[in-house]
Structures are given as C-alpha cells and as structure tokens.
A and B are shown apart, each in its own frame.
Chain A
Amino acid sequence: MTIPPFASSGKGEGPAMKLTKPLTASLSEASEFLADRLFQSIMEGVMVTNVEGKILFINPAFTEITGFDKEVIGLTPRVIRSGKHSEAFYKNIWDSIARHGQWKGEIWNKRKDGQFYVQWTTITVIKDEKGKPLFYASVFTDISAKKEAEQQLQEDLRLARKVQKELLSQPIRNQDIHITGAYLPSTMIGGDLYVWYQLNEHEYSLFVLDVMGHGITSALLAVSIRSLLRSVLYETVKPANVLEKMNSHVYSLFKSQQATLRTYFISGIYVHIDTDAKQIRYASAGHPPGLFIDYTGDVTELESSCPPLGMIEQIEVKEGQFDYEGRAVLVLYTDGLIEHGEQTVGAAIEELKKMVRQHRHLESEQIICQLLKEKKYSRNPNTFEDDITIVTAILY
C-alpha cells in the first residue's frame, strides 16, 4: 500500500490512488490510508496546527475555499484572517476550546485573492493519551452563498411586509363614521388582513380575516383573498352571499391537497354598515365574535354562524342585523388578541368586552392602543405567537 504525504494538499495525487496490496495490509495501515483518503477528498476544508499555532496540514478543500496552497504550511492561521473580528472574538474561541475542547461558529476570513467569505467552523483540540494538547484541527465549510441567500430572503420579507402594509386600508374619518385598524404580524409577514370600502356616501363594508398559520403562504393567501373580496363586492354586498362566494373560492384552491391534511382555511367577519339607515348587517365564518357597544354601554356579540372559509365545500351562512342610535363602537379582531396567556378563549372574550366597554368613549385609535396595552402586547414582531389585528369603527 502506498500512502501519500499527509502534509500535502493532495493535488495530483488523490483520486487516482489505489490500494496496491489491500489484502495483506495491516489494519493500522488500512485505517491510516482510509483516514488520509478521507482527508484528501472531503468537501470541508481542514487545517491542522501545532500547539504553537503553526499550520502543519491542509487538504485540497482548504485550497479550494481559501485559494492558499502549500505556501501556508509553517505560517499561522492569521494568513486568512479577514480583520472583521476583534481580538476579543479570537480570545473567546481559544477560551472555549480550553474549557470544552471544541468551538463551533461562524468566522469571516479572507481568500488569497482578497475576497471575504464566511465559514462555519469547528475547531477541536487533539490530545495525547495523557491529555496534553498536540494539535488543533479546524474543519470548515464556506457558507457565504447560504448567508447571501438568507440575507436576500430577509430583504424579500422586508419588502413583502411593506407591500402587505400598503394593502391595508387607510383610516376613514367623516361626520358619520371613523374607521381605523392595527395589524401586528407575529413574524415578518403574517396572515391577518383588514380591509374596508366606502361603497357610496352612506354605505361601508368592513372585513377582517385570519388565514390559518402565519408566514409567507398565509400572507400570500391573505393578499389573494383581498383581491377576491373586491371582485365579490361588485356582485353583492349582502354578507351571507359574500362569505359563501369566498368559501367556494378558498375551498377550490386547496381541494387537491386535502389528502395531506395541509390545506388552509380562513376565518373572517364581514360587516356592512349603512350610516343613513343606521343599520348594521354582518356575517361571520368561524371568527371570534365582533363586539358592538351601543351608547348605553350594552355589548352585542357578532357571532359566527358557520365553519371557517375553505373548511367544507358548502357553508350555510346566517346573517345578523341590528339598528343603532347615538354614538356606538364596533370592534373586530383576530384570535391572536384572545389566545394569549392562561385564559380560556371564553374568559379572554369576556375580558375584552369589559375593556371595550370601559374605553368606548375614546377615539378609535386610542381604543386600539388601550386594548393592546392592557393585553400587554408590544408592536414588535416575534414577541407574540399569533398575528393580531384590531379594527375599530366609531359610528355617530
């Protein structure tokens, strides 16, 4: 058996190497040979230093990643330092190796051509049988492309969030009505949506929906539903009809995925307000009850009458209707507002009703701020589990 020189980067000697007498080679020789073959052929860069920090061995992948070849033998790893890390960073690495025998993490380094790259590195101390350090082995992978892809994804998500926010309706304020809303996605983008339209001088349509889950798919679905809603409203503003049409659409979207239990569905509440007739009509599909507070402080729940949109092929939606007088408040929200903490959903709704009753005299934005404050939500994403949407309408 022929064993190549271990200190070489292996160029020109590697893959063509053959066992010349494999059947007679000792187990020890065979293991050495296999270890060397592995060292020469693995995709990860390997650099071994002695305890003084001088580079003893490198493999072909080291050369592939850094551009340096045998010229680094005898030098220290400073040759590939990027200058992007402080001395404290490296001290922390060596402290960790001294304590745990190993360090893992990302390091920015510099290739021979001066280009910076980031590597995922594992540095391990190799000791003799008495525990005395002999070598430090660094095994690393170039993760620059992955990092770049992650950064691109974050950038895309930031843009998507901006687009999603642009799609939310702007407040309406006139002598008859004042509508405003707040949307807090739990991640960069989410699956809640609110939208309202002024249909004519005295009619308004409000819609709050919650796509199951959150993240990219839910956000895309929410956007798709928004455009669908617009076209449905050209055909009808009758709440039951609006929800039935939307149910058919959502159901057909995911019909082919039913066998995998990976379909999506949407809970939603739709409210039609006529400020001339002072009348509210609504329908809700699997959505937490909207709250209507009249001028005396009495609270009416706008209850769901059917399963969420897209869950079953046909839904029978029942509409609710009532008249109002004086100053009244309507609050619509998604379940993120009530599925928080140890409370049951029923107890959380009761608590919300009390809060809304207490703050009903405030302006619509102030009501939202108070609810979020008292429910202890901050406006920073990733600080709560589910997306939260609140819409308030003050009716005069």
Chain B
Amino acid sequence: MKIESFNRIQVMHWEEDITLKNIELFRAAMLKFTAGSVDYFVLDLKPIQYINSAGLGIIAESVMNMRKQQKDMAISGIGQSIEEIFAIVKFTAFIKLFPDIEAAINFFEAAQNDNPSIC
C-alpha cells in the first residue's frame, strides 16, 4: 500500500488482490480515509486482479460514507478482471471509475475549482 497526496486529493495505491487474507487490512485502510479529513480520495487498483465480495462491500460503503460527508471518492487503474467483476455488481451505477490516476486527479481538480475550500 502506498499513499500520495495532491493538494486536497489523496491517492491510495492498493497493490495486492483483495482476499480473505488481507481483507481486514483493506478495511482498516479504507476506514482511515473515509473517517479522515481528506476531501477527495482515489483508490488505485492498477496491479490487482481480484476483489472478493467483502472487498466490494467495503468499497461501496466507503463511497456512500464519503458522499454523506460531502466528500467524494473514485477508483482508478481498473484492469480487465476487475472491470468484469465491477460490471457484474454494477459499480458503474454509483462509483466513479477512471482508467488511470491522472484521469481521476484531473476530475477532482476540476471539482475543486468548482468548489474551492473555504478554509
């Protein structure tokens, strides 16, 4: 796992398939972001090939939690196998998906310009 920050945008690179073995680590990492002060969060899944159902639940819940706090989250770096899983669970219906980190950051930077921080 690697973290990067770009202004009010934070990026977490998750580098392993999300399975029973690391699901609690993933949950803890996602909780840290959804409960933290970050306004925009990008979860980059570039190298990973598989997410189990609990992982999907954590992602969905994180998106909903951030929106409740007037924050936003996106997913980037989706490969073919993850795209197939996301297609089945229809994540496209409520989660912003981007082919790479740059596209996600560009999107949130544009959003920041539309909604500048008052702090």
**Chain A contacts to B: CB under 8 angstroms:** 210, 212-213, 258-265, 267, 286-289, 304-308, 311-312, 335, 339, 344-346, 385-386
Chain B residues with CB below 8 A from A267, complex form: 53, 88-89
> Is A312's CB under 8 angstroms from B94's CB?
yes
Chain A residues with CB below 8 A from B31, complex form: 260-261
Chain A residues with CB below 8 A from B27, complex form: 261-262
> Is A265's CB under 8 angstroms from B90's CB?
no
Smallest CB gap from A348: residue in B: B84
Interface majority SS (helix, strand, loop, mixed), chain B: helix
**Chain B contacts to A: CB under 8 angstroms:** 20, 27, 30-31, 34-35, 49-50, 52-54, 56-58, 60-62, 64-65, 80-81, 84-85, 88-91, 93-94
Most chain A CB neighbours (cut-off 10 Å) among B20, B54, B88: B88
> Is A261's CB under 8 angstroms from B50's CB?
no
Chain A residues with CB below 8 A from B34, complex form: 261
Chain B residues with CB below 8 A from A386, complex form: 52
Chain B residues with CB below 8 A from A258, complex form: 61, 64-65
Determine the distance from Cα of A264 to Cα of B65 in the docked complex, in whole angstroms: 15
Determine the distance from Cα of A271 to Cα of B56 in the docked complex, in whole angstroms: 25
> Is B61's CB under 8 angstroms from A263's CB?
yes
Nearest CB on A from B78, distance (A): 12
Top 3 A-B residue pairs of the complex, sorted by shortest distance between their CB atoms? A344-B81, A286-B89, A346-B84
> Is A312's CB under 8 angstroms from B64's CB?
yes
Smallest CB gap from B55: residue in A: A212
Decide: A346 near B91, CB < 8 A? Known: A210-B53, A213-B53, A311-B60: no
Which residue of the partner chain, among B54, B62, B94, contacts A307 with CB atoms under 8 Å?
B94
Interface majority SS (helix, strand, loop, mixed), chain A: loop
Determine the distance from Cα of A304 to Cα of B88 in the docked complex, in whole angstroms: 6
Determine the distance from Cα of A304 to Cα of B93 in the docked complex, in whole angstroms: 12
Determine the distance from Cα of A291 to Cα of B90 in the docked complex, in whole angstroms: 18
Which residue of the partner chain, among A210, A213, A261, A264, contacts B62 with CB atoms under 8 Å?
A261
> Is B85's CB under 8 angstroms from A345's CB?
yes
Chain A residues with CB below 8 A from B60, complex form: 265, 307, 311-312
> Is B90's CB under 8 angstroms from A304's CB?
yes
Determine the distance from Cα of A265 to Cα of B91 in the docked complex, in whole angstroms: 14
Determine the distance from Cα of A307 to Cα of B53 in the docked complex, in whole angstroms: 12
Determine the distance from Cα of A304 to Cα of B86 in the docked complex, in whole angstroms: 11
Chain B residues with CB below 8 A from A259, complex form: 35, 65
Chain B residues with CB below 8 A from A263, complex form: 57, 61
Smallest CB gap from B83: residue in A: A346
Smallest CB gap from A210: residue in B: B53
> Is A308's CB under 8 angstroms from B89's CB?
yes
Decide: A305 near B90, CB < 8 A? Known: A258-B61, A258-B64: yes
Chain A residues with CB below 8 A from B30, complex form: 261
Smallest CB gap from A334: residue in B: B53
A/B interface sample: 25 pairs, CB < 8 A:
A258-B65, A261-B61, A261-B65, A262-B27, A263-B57, A263-B61, A267-B88, A267-B89, A286-B88, A286-B89, A287-B88, A289-B88, A306-B90, A306-B93, A307-B89, A307-B93, A308-B56, A311-B57, A312-B94, A344-B49, A344-B80, A344-B84, A345-B81, A345-B88, A346-B84
Chain A residues with CB below 8 A from B91, complex form: 307
Determine the distance from Cα of A312 to Cα of B91 in the docked complex, in whole angstroms: 11
Determine the distance from Cα of A386 to Cα of B31 in the docked complex, in whole angstroms: 25
Determine the distance from Cα of A385 to Cα of B19 in the docked complex, in whole angstroms: 10
Determine the distance from Cα of A346 to Cα of B35 in the docked complex, in whole angstroms: 34
Nearest CB on B from A347, distance (A): 9
> Is B88's CB under 8 angstroms from A212's CB?
no
Determine the distance from Cα of A154 to Cα of B102 in the docked complex, in whole angstroms: 52
Nearest CB on A from B40, distance (A): 19
